[in-house]
Chains A and B, each alone.
Chain A
Amino acid sequence: MPTIVSYKWTLINNLKISDNQLEELLFKLKSEVKPIDADHVEIEVNNDRPDLFFPYGIIRAAKGILGKELGEPKYDIKQSVYSFEVKEVKSRPYAVAGIVKDIKLDDESLRELIQFQEKLHITVGRKRKKVAIGIHDLDKITSTKIYYKPLPLDYKFIPLNQSKLMTIKEVIEQTPQGREYGNISIYDGLSPAIVEENGDVLSIPPIINSDKTRIDEKTRNIFIDVTGTSFEAVSSTLDILVTDLAEMGGKIELLNFISPSKFEFSPLLRRYTVSVSANYISKNLGINLSLNEIEKYLRMARFDTKVLNDVVEVTVPPYRVDILSQIDLVEEIAMTIGYDKLSPKDYTIKATGKLSAETELIRTLRDLSIGAGFSEIFTFILSNDKRLRNEYVSIVNPVTVEYNAVRNSLIPTLLNFLKYNQHAIMPVYVFEIGDVVIKDKRTDTGYKNSLRAVYGIMNSKVNYEDLQSRVHQILMSLDIEPTYKTYLDDMFIPGRGAKIIDTSKSVEIGVIGEINPVLLEELEIEFPVVISEIYLDSLVKR
Chain B
Amino acid sequence: MAEMKILTKYIDNPKSTELEFYESVHGYDGLKKALAMKPDDIIAEVKKSGLRGRGGAGFPTGLKWSFIPKDIPKPKYIICNADEGEPGTFKDRKLIENLPHQIIEGMIIGARAINSNKGFFYIRGEFQKGAKTMQKAIDEAYAKGYLGKNILDSGFDFDLILYEGAGAYICGEETALINSIEGRRGHPRLKPPFPAVSGLYRSPTVVNNVETFSAIPHIIDKGADWYSKIGTEKSPGTRLFSVSGNVKRPGVYEIELGTPLLELVNDLCGGITDDKPLKAVIPGGSSVPILTAEECKTANMDFESMAAHKTMLGSGAVIVLAEGADIVETTYRFARFYAHESCGQCTPCREGTHWVRDILSKIRDGEGTTQDIDLILSLSRNMEGGTTICPLSDACVGAVRPAIQKFRSEFDARLKVKPEPVVELRRRKEDKISESVVAEGQKTP
Q: Report if A and B associate in a common complex.
A: no
